[in-house]
Amino acid sequence: MSLIDGFLGPILLETMEKKVFPPSFTHSRSSREGNQKEEERNGRSVPVDIAESQKEYVFYFDVPGLSKSDIQVTLEEKNVLVVKGGGKRKREEEEVSEEEEGKGCKYLRMERNAYTRFMRKFRLPVDADLSAISARCENGVLTVSVEKVPPVAKSKTVEITVS
């Protein structure tokens, strides 16, 4: 299965293990090329780690400086999980006090990411339970959990006796 970043932020195409995300979920080369152009234009991406357990998939996003009201998690058709965010670069407002501003203080270098707008899209595997998705934002980390549908019981062979 492929992971696709969206339209407001950089777009990347990533691939998870084929057993979780089969090749049928991959996208065409032309979409990857378009994604690279968008990434070059915006120059940032929200980092994400994806974990799988027997019961669920868990997505961990770094979203420093954003509150839960700045983030939206939705589900689009065809099992696509969408995570959007938007907020102000709070560090610019908070870290330079009025006193320092009056003295002509300005940033000489800004390396820390302060995501203002982003969108990431992920096509969920077929065993994802679309009715059991939860999200929480704590200490600059957004955690989205998607439970798995329990596996279908294997068929049982019944012995036929001839009388």
78-135: pLDDT as tens digits: 899 999 988 765 555 455 555 555 566 777 887 766 556 889 999 999 999 999 999 9
pLDDT of residue 131: 93
Spatial separation of the C-alpha atoms in residues 125 and 119, rounded to whole Å? 19
DSSP character string of the chain: -EEEE-SSS---EEE--TTTS-GGG---HHHHHHHHHHHHHH-----EEEEE-SSEEEEEEE-TT--GGGEEEEEETTTEEEEEEE---HHHHHHS-HHHHHTT---S---S---SEEEEEEEPPTTEEEEEEEEEEETTEEEEEEEEPPPPPPP--------
Residues 6+ apart with CB under 8 A from 57: 50, 51, 124, 125, 128, 145, 146, 148
Spatial separation of the C-alpha atoms in residues 67 and 81, rounded to whole Å? 20
- Looking at residues 37-66, what average pLDDT do you find? 78
Is residue 81 within 8 A of residue 144, CB to CB? The reply is yes
Would you kindly state where each structural domain of the chain is located, as residue ranges? 2-148
**What's this model's pTM, rounded to 2 decimal places?**
0.59
Reported confidence tier of residue 154, pLDDT bands at 50, 70, 90: confident
The CATH number of 2-148, from 3.40.80.10, 3.40.50.261, 2.60.40.790, 3.30.413.10, is 2.60.40.790
